[in-house]
Structure formats: C-alpha cells, structure tokens
Structure 1
Amino acid sequence: MVSIKSKEEIKKMKIAGEVLGQALQFLKKMIQPGINCQKLDEEFLKFITERNCQSNFYGYYDYPAHICISINEQLIHGIPQNRVLRNGDLVSIDTGCIYEGYHADAAITVICGDYVNPLHKKLVEDTQKSLQLAIEQVRAGVRIGTISATVQKFIEENGFQLPTDFAGHGIGTSMHEDPLIPNTGIPNTGMRLQAGMTICIEPMVQISTSKTITASDGWTVSSADNSMAAHFEHTILVTEEGCEILTLLKD
C-alpha cells in the first residue's frame, strides 16, 4: 500500500536524508587508491551514529554490512570485503539510514583515483544524468511509466543496457514500500504520483548487457559479461509543483 507522509513524517525523512547525503559525500572523498572497503563500512556507521541515525542495511534479510560496495562489473549488493581499491576502479556505494523510524536510501558511483577510462566515465555520467532527467519528471499527477521511460530512453539512446530484474521503490517506515519504480516503461502508464509520496529512483546500468549473475554469497549482482556497471539513487519527496531531493550530497 502506498503511504502519503504527514508533515511530521516528512520532517523525519528529511533529517534521515540530510544525514545520508552528508555521509555519502564523506565516503566519496575517502574513495582513493589504497582505501580498504571495510574501512569505508566502518566510517559510514560511525558517521551516521554520531548524528543519531541507525543503519538500515545491516541485518536486512541478514545482510552482513552497513553499506553495499559494488566494484567494476559488480552492479549492486556487493559486500564490503578486505579489499583495497585501485586506481581506475568504478566504485558504487548504495546505503541508507534511519532517523526515528524513517528511512532514507541513496547510491553513487565514483571513479577511484586519477585514471579515467573514457567509456567508464561516460557510463557513470550517463547513469547519473538519467537519474537527473527522471527526477525532473516528478510531480503530483505524473504516472510512474513516464519516469521509467525517461530513464530507459536516455540510457538506450546512449548505447548502454538496463537490467530489468531490479527497480526503484517507495520508502518510509520501511526501506522498501510500494510503489515499484522500474527503469524501463511506457510514458503515461502506471500509477499517478501524489503529493506526500516518498520514492527512490535508482538507475542501474551496464555497458554491454542487460543480463546479470548473482555470486555464491547470495548478494553480489554483477553483469553477466563482466562489463562495467554504475548505479545512482536518490530519495525524493513528491510535491504538487515538482519534488524535493532528500538525499543531496552535502559537505
């Protein structure tokens, strides 16, 4: 069931979103060659705990960490390992937090270090741009299919691939709520957004295949052909006139 948030609920979600945006900006600056992935997980937990928030990833369906770190061909749900990042790695961090029972969820992809492969750079930039274009469509009365089609059109026009097994979602007192927000769709179809809804839009993009495989750990999803992947996500409040991004990255 889709929930419409009250002013008090929105206030709590804004706090969760602000802390999460700050935390992701903090981690983004830490993503340099030589950093250990487990260190990023530890620092994230410390950051949000100091700001009166809790992790919503740890223990979720028994997930064993506080952030997902997916590297290179890994698309989503990578578990932080005792692994050191290298120059040129594509590093996707997907994570969230809870403030007084209300959730925020967001993801970024960062190229580690100063080595930049032009195709990988375009993948990251186009994935982020597709999210921005989708967010520009959000306002009360718009149908979900229009948001989904916006992502699909831009990504496919730029020659990349969209896995269809994963999607965005509603969010509130649970990390995943109705409605589902796919990354492919038909304009002017599906549920109409209402003011007070809170949703997560999250393009997940691969270079040369839409197919994925899941590792033996039961979590890490990678491209089936080992091509690079990128992932961006924001938690968004729907308003009558447009929307408000609750998880903006801030210093």
Structure 2
Amino acid sequence: MIEILNPTLLARARETGALVADILDTLRSRCAAGTNLLDIDRWAKALIVEAGAVSCYVDYAPSFGRGPFGHYICTGVNDAVLHGRPYDYTLADGDLLTLDLAVSKDGVAADAAISFLVGDARDAESVALIETTERALAAGIAAARPGARVGDISHAIGTVLGEAGYAINTDFGGHGIGSTMHQDPHVPNAGRPGRGYTLRPGLLLALEPWVMADTAQLVTDADGWTLRSATGCRTAHSEHTIAITDDGAEILTLPRRAREL
C-alpha cells in the first residue's frame, strides 16, 4: 500500500515527526556510561505516553521477527545495527549506540534513527561509520523530489556508502510510511537511477542508510530480532522521515530546537 497524504494529514505528520525527533534528542542527552538499555526503553515509554502517542514497536510482529517486539525503542550497541531489542546491558564509554524510534499520533506515524558514541571516547572507525550514514542520508534527501524515482534516492545513498568503501546490504532499507510504520515503496540503500516508483507530493518516506565496517552479512540474535554484523564489526544507522512536497523534500523528524535555529 502506498499512501498520499492530504494537507491535514501532512500537518499531523509534522507533529509526529517533531515528537519522534524530540524524544530521540532527549534520550541521547540522557545516555552515558553506566546507562542501562532497559532504562532507555522505560524512558522512551514514558515520553511516548506523556505525549499521547502510541509506540509502533510494542505489538509489532512481522514475518522476519519472533513474536511481538515488546519494547518501545530499538537499541543497537556496537555490532547491532537493526531491530536491536533492549536487554540488560550497561553502556560503557566509547560504545557506539543506535536508537531507532517510531511512534504514531493522531493516525500518522514517523520513524527516525540516530547513531552516536557514548561518553568521551572517540575512535576513527566509529566516527567514519556515523558520518558516512549521515552524508548518505543527506544525499538521499537531496535526490527526493516530485517526478524523481525511488531508484534516484537509492542511487544517491548507495553512491555515498560505496565511495566510502562500505559493502551495502539491500535486504533492509527505507520504506513508505503514513497511517502505518512500514508501507511500500521499499527504498533500498543502493539502486539504479530512473527506476522504481515515481515520487509525488504528499508521499512520506523513511530513508535509512546503515552500514557495517567490514561486511554486508547480518546474523540474528537468539532474541529473534536483533540484527548484528556477521563479523562482529561496528555498525551505524541514520534515518529521517521526509515528506515529498511541490518543491522537494521536507524533513519531518528534526528536533524542535533545530527547527528554531
């Protein structure tokens, strides 16, 4: 299913997107060495409930998972890049943490992810991973405009990832979003320009470049959800929900503080 939002629903999408971004911003500010992943999940739940929103994850049970996800946020540490199920783990200085959050409010969903280093430690590999996914995301957004095709976005993202030397896994990527979290069209993180669905004003897309330092192969944890790099290498993941407009693309998942600058 592909949805095209009318102006009323697009206004709601802006509010949901800002909420997702603000929650991620708050959670990032609270994360430090000594923070437990289960605490992050509890904080996410409290912030979602306080805002009168609904988690897209708690009851989420797609064919590739094992039963309902059962948590309010995805938390991936170091080699965990997608669908990280929170568990009893205490963050250490230098951990590479990915937070991926999707919520629905007033009938419209938004989805975003951030990767960052915990504490003061910095290593070049982790910084490069994070910065590359952010640059790829910016390139994908720049390619999103009315009349362009999904393949144009995929090509832009894949060009940045490939030129940085990373192998690209296309099993999981971006997606349409609207009244539900995951919709068509699928937006792979590599592709051929001029191919695929033609973008129209009112279409919402969640674009999400992700990479692993030295492999394109994933393995699944015993929890049936968490996807890790097959080699144990570090990973990063960046995501925004955007709306196709008459002029290009509008990023919906920016924190309110960033919108005011």
Tell me whether the two structures share a fold, i.e. TM-score over 0.5. Answer: yes
Report Cα offsets for 1:189-245 as digits up to 9, x if no partner.
111100000011000111111111111111010011111110111111001211111
Q: Which runs of 5+ in 1 are unaligned?
A: none
Name which of 189, 195, 200 aligns with 2:201: 195
1:7 alignment partner in structure 2: 7
- For the aligned residues, what is the CA RMSD? 1.0
1:219 alignment partner in structure 2: 225
Tell me whether 1:207 sits opposite 2:197 in the alignment: no
The question of whether the paired residues in 2 share the 8 Å contact of 1:25 and 1:250 is answered with no
Distance in 2 separating the partners of 1:14 and 1:53: 14
Q: 1:163, CA displacement in angstroms?
A: 1.5
Name which of 232, 236, 248 aligns with 2:242: 236
AA in 1 matched with 2:150:
I
Tell me whether 1:163 sits opposite 2:169 in the alignment: yes
Identity in percent: 35
1:58 alignment partner in structure 2: 58
Distance in 1 separating the partners of 2:45 and 2:100: 13
2:124 alignment partner in structure 1: 118
Distance in 2 separating the partners of 1:46 and 1:26: 12
TM-score (norm 2): 0.94
Report Cα offsets for 1:164-201 as digits up to 9, x if no partner.
21011000111111111110101111111000000110
Tell me whether 1:183 sits opposite 2:183 in the alignment: no
Q: Which runs of 5+ in 2 are unaligned?
A: 62-67
Deviating above 2 A after TM superposition, structure 1's stretches of 4 or more consecutive aligned residues are none
1:78 alignment partner in structure 2: 84
Q: 1:141, CA displacement in angstroms?
A: 0.5
Q: 1:7, CA displacement in angstroms?
A: 1.1
TM-score (norm 1): 0.98
Q: 1:161, CA displacement in angstroms?
A: 2.2
Q: 1:12, CA displacement in angstroms?
A: 1.4
Distance in 1 separating the partners of 2:194 and 2:138: 19
Report Cα offsets for 1:66-95 as digits up to 9, x if no partner.
000011011111111111100110100111
Distance in 1 separating the partners of 2:28 and 2:142: 24
Q: 1:49, CA displacement in angstroms?
A: 1.6
